C-alpha cells in the first residue's frame, strides 16, 4: 500500500508539473517592441530556430485540451507530449487491467476516433487518419516485430535423433533451433482469419472500379460495418459453446500475472499446491471408493459404475476448484477455512461467552469451561460419541446437518496421541491453535477486502486516464506530423502503436523468455487474439466515424496491407507447429515492406 501511495504521489506531482508548463513564451524589456512574428525577423541558422520555423502554423493554434492539459508550439514540445501521453496511457492500461477488459482492447483507437463523432468535420478526418494508422500499425506490429522478438526470446534447440547425419553450419543455423507450439496455437491462428471478412467486404467493390464518393459505396461501408459487428458477436457467442479460447486467455492471464509479480516458477508451484490442499481429501475419497466399492458385495465395480463414479468425481472437483465455497452445504469437509468459521461459532454459542478476551488474547478459563461442557461424564476425556451429542445439542442448522463429519475432523485435529479420545491438555492446545488460525483468517479477509478496494480504485483511475488522455495524444500526433511535414498516418502507424501495445509487448516478451513450451504457445495465442480484436474493433470504430459523419473512404491501401500480413503470418502459423529460425526472414521483413506498399500504392491499388 505504501508503494502505491508513493507511486500515485509521484505521478500526480509529475502531472501537475506538466500542467504548469508554459507552451511558449519569451521575456522582453519594456522598451523593446513586440514582433508580430513575420516582419523584421533576423535569420538565425540554429537548429532550434529552424525547427521553430517549420512549426509556425502550430504555434498559432496552441489550445489546451479540456482547458487544463498542456499544449506545445514547436516540434520538441510535440514529441515530448507524445512520449508523456504514451507513458501515461501505458500505466492507464495497466491500471485498467490490460486487454482483459474491454477498455484495453479498444485502446486509443476507440477513445480517439470516436471523438470524431462530436468534433468538426476537419478534426473528424484527422481522427480517422490517426485511427487508420493505429489499426494497421498495431496489427502489423504484433504479427511481425513482436512475433519475431517473442520467437527469438523463446526459441530452443530442436531434438536431433541419435546417429543422424551432421549438417553444415549454415543449414543448422536456419533449421537447428526455433519454437514449437501446440495445436491450440494453430487453432487461434485460424480464428484470426475471420477478422479479415469486413476488410474484404469493403475492398472488393473498389477492385471493380466503384467510386469511393458514390452513394453505392456508402452502402458498402454500412455492410462492412455490419459484418464487423456480426463477426465480433459471433466470436463472443462461439465461446459460450466452445470455451477453448476463453480458457486459453485465462491461462495466459495467470502467466502474465505471475510474471508481473516477479514470482519464480518454483514458488508459483508451491503456492498452487498450498492453495489446493483442500482437494487432497477428495482424492483420498476417490481412492477409497475405487478400492472398496460400497454398491457391490463382491467388492468389484463394473465399467459403467466406474465411469459414472469417476465422472461425478470430476464434476464435483471441477466445481470445487472454480469456487471453493460452492460445497459449503453438502461438503464442508473439503473446505477447512469455512469449517473453522463454523466450529468457532459453535464453540462461542455453546460456551455462552467468547473464547477471546477484548485485547485478542485467548481466554484459557473459558476454554476449560468449554471442555467441561462437552465432557458429559466428567472423566477428563472427550469421546467421539460425547462430541457428536454435544454438536447435536447446538442449535446451528448448518452444523447439525453434518455432525459426523465435524466430529471426525475435530477428533483428527485434537487427538494428538491417536487413542481416539481427547484429554484436557490436547483440547486446550488444539483449541488455542484453532483460535490463532481464526485470527489469521480474519486478517486475510480484511486484507482481501482492502486489495479489492485498491483494485477497483485503480480500475477507475485507469479507465479515466484512457478516456481523457487518448484524444490529446491524437492531437499531439497530428501537430507533430504537421511540424515535420509527414502524413499523420505514418506517425500514427509507427509511434502510437508502440504506446498502445507496450504493455502487451513487455508481458509477451517476458513470458516467451521463460523458454517453456506451454508458456510460449500461450504467448503466440495471445498475439493472434489481440490481432483479431484489434482488426474487428479498430475497423468498426473507423468505419462508424466515416459513415455517420459522411466522410469519404480513402484507406484501401492500408487495409490491403493488413490483409497481406495477416494472411501470410496466418497461413504460416496455422499450417505448422514447428517454426525454425528461417521463419524470422518471413516475419521481420513484412513490417518495412508494409510501409513501402502503403507509401507507393494508392487507394485504387495503382503504384504511384
For residue 524, pLDDT beyond 60: yes
Q: How many domains does the chain have?
A: 2
Q: Which comes out higher in pLDDT, residue 333 or 440?
A: 440
Same domain, 386 and 353: yes
Q: Which comes out higher in pLDDT, residue 354 or 373?
A: 373
Contacts of 148 (CB under 8 A, 6+ apart): 584, 587, 588
The arithmetic mean of pLDDT across residues 126-146, rounded, is 88
Is the residue at 254 inside a domain?
Answer: no
Same domain, 300 and 342: no
Same domain, 356 and 386: yes
What pLDDT was estimated at residue 525? 92
Same domain, 426 and 402: yes
What pLDDT was estimated at residue 585? 94
What pLDDT was estimated at residue 417? 74
Same domain, 285 and 360: no
Same domain, 338 and 431: yes
Same domain, 423 and 400: yes
What pLDDT was estimated at residue 567? 96
Which band of pLDDT confidence, cut at 50, 70 and 90, is reported for residue 106? very low
Domain that holds residue 288: 260-326
What pLDDT was estimated at residue 293? 58
Averaged confidence pLDDT in the chain: 72
- Of the candidates 311, 326, 341, which is a domain's last residue? 326
Q: What are phi and psi of 356, to 5 degrees?
A: -115, 140
Is the residue at 197 inside a domain?
Answer: no
Is the residue at 265 inside a domain?
Answer: yes
What per-residue string of b and e applies to 157-167 under the rule 16 or more CB within 10 Å gives b?
A: eeeeeeeeeee
- Of the candidates 444, 464, 492, which is a domain's last residue? 444
Is the residue at 558 inside a domain?
Answer: no
Same domain, 298 and 281: yes
What pLDDT was estimated at residue 223? 93
What pLDDT was estimated at residue 228? 92
Contacts of 176 (CB under 8 A, 6+ apart): 157, 158, 160, 167, 580, 581
DSSP classification of residue 157: E
Same domain, 342 and 322: no
Q: Which comes out higher in pLDDT, residue 332 or 258?
A: 258
Same domain, 357 and 425: yes
CATH of residue 423's domain is: 1.10.238.10
Is residue 497 within 8 Å of 134, Cβ to Cβ? yes
Least confident of 331-340, 350-359, 375-384: 331-340
Is the residue at 409 inside a domain?
Answer: yes
For residue 485, pLDDT beyond 60: yes
Same domain, 369 and 322: no
Is the residue at 131 inside a domain?
Answer: no
Amino acid at each position: 500500500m505504501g508503494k502505491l501511495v508513493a507511486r500515485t504521489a509521484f505521478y500526480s506531482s509529475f502531472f501537475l508539473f506538466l500542467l504548469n508548463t508554459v507552451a511558449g513564451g519569451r521575456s522582453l524589456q519594456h522598451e523593446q517592441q513586440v514582433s508580430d512574428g513575420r516582419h523584421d525577423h533576423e535569420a538565425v541558422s540554429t537548429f532550434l530556430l529552424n525547427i521553430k520555423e517549420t512549426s509556425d502554423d502550430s504555434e498559432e493554434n496552441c489550445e489546451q485540451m479540456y482547458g487544463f492539459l498542456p499544449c506545445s508550439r514547436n516540434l520538441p514540445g510535440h514529441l515530448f507530449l507524445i512520449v508523456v501521453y504514451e507513458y501515461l496511457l501505458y500505466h492507464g492500461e495497466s491500471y485498467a487491467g490490460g486487454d482483459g477488459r474491454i477498455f484495453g482492447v479498444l485502446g486509443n483507437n476507440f477513445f480517439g476516433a470516436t471523438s470524431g463523432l462530436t468534433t468538426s468535420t476537419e478534426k473528424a478526418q484527422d481522427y480517422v487518419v490517426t485511427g487508420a494508422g493505429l489499426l494497421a500499425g498495431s496489427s502489423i506490429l504484433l504479427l511481425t516485430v513482436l512475433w519475431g522478438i517473442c520467437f527469438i526470446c523463446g526459441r530452443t534447440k530442436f531434438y536431433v535423433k541419435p546417429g543422424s547425419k551432421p549438417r553444415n553450419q549454415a543449414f543448422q543455423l536456419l533449421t537447428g533451433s526455433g519454437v514449437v507450439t501446440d495445436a491450440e496455437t494453430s487453432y487461434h491462428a485460424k480464428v484470426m482469419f475471420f477478422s479479415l471478412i469486413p476488410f474484404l467486404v469493403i475492398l472488393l467493390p473498389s477492385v471493380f472500379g466503384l467510386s469511393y464518393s458514390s452513394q453505392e459505396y456508402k452502402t458498402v461501408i454500412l455492410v462492412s460495418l455490419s459484418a464487423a459487428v456480426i463477426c465480433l458477436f459471433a466470436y463472443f457467442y462461439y465461446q459460450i459453446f466452445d470455451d477453448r479460447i476463453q480458457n486459453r486467455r485465462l491461462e495466459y492471464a495467470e502467466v502474465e500475472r505471475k510474471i508481473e509479480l516477479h514470482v519464480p516458477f518454483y514458488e508459483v508451484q508451491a503456492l498452487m499446491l498450498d492453495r489446493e490442499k483442500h482437494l487432497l481429501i477428495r482424492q483420498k475419497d476417490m481412492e477409497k471408493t475405487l478400492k472398496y466399492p460400497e454398491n457391490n458385495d463382491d467388492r468389484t465395480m463394473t465399467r459403467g459404475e466406474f465411469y459414472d463414479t469417476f465422472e461425478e468425481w470430476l464434476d464435483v472437483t471441477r466445481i470445487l476448484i472454480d469456487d471453493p465455497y460452492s460445497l459449503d452445504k453438502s461438503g464442508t469437509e473439503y473446505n477447512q477455512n469455512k469449517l473453522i468459521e463454523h466450529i468457532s461459532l459453535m464453540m462461542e454459542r455453546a460456551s455462552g461467552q467468547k473464547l477471546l478476551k477484548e485485547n485478542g488474547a485467548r481466554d484459557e478459563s473459558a476454554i476449560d469451561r468449554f471442555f467441561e461442557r462437552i465432557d458429559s461424564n466428567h472423566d477428563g476425556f472427550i469421546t467421539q460419541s460425547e462430541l457428536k451429542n454435544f454438536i447435536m445439542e447446538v442449535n446451528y442448522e448448518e452444523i447439525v446437518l453434518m455432525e459426523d463429519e465435524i466430529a471426525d475432523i475435530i477428533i483428527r485435529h485434537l487427538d494428538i496421541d491417536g487413542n481416539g479420545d481427547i484429554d484436557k491438555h490436547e483440547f486446550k492446545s488444539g483449541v488455542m491453535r484453532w483460535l490463532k488460525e481464526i485470527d489469521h483468517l480474519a486478517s486475510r479477509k480484511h486484507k482481501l477486502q482492502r486489495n479489492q478496494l485498491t483494485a477497483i480504485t485503480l480500475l477507475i483511475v485507469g479507465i479515466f486516464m484512457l478516456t481523457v488522455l487518448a484524444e490529446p495524444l491524437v492531437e499531439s500526433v497530428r501537430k507533430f506530423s504537421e511540424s515535420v511535414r509527414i502524413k499523420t498516418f505514418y506517425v500514427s502507424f509507427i509511434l502510437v502503436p508502440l504506446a498502445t501495445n507496450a504493455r502487451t509487448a513487455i508481458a509477451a516478451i517476458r513470458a516467451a523468455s521463460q523458454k517453456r513450451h506451454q508458456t510460449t504457445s500461450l504467448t503466440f495465442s495471445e498475439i493472434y487474439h489481440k490481432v483479431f480484436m484489434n482488426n474487428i474493433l479498430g475497423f468498426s470504430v473507423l468505419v462508424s466515424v466515416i459513415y455517420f459523419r459522411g466522410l469519404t473512404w480513402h484507406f484501401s491501401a492500408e487495409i490491403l496491407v493488413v490483409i497481406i500480413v495477416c494472411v501470410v503470418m496466418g497461413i504460416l502459423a496455422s499450417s505448422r507447429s514447428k517454426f525454425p529460425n528461417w521463419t524470422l526472414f518471413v516475419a521481420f521483413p513484412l513490417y518495412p515492406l508494409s510501409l513501402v506498399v502503403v507509401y507507393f500504392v494508392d487507394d485504387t491499388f495503382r503504384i504511384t
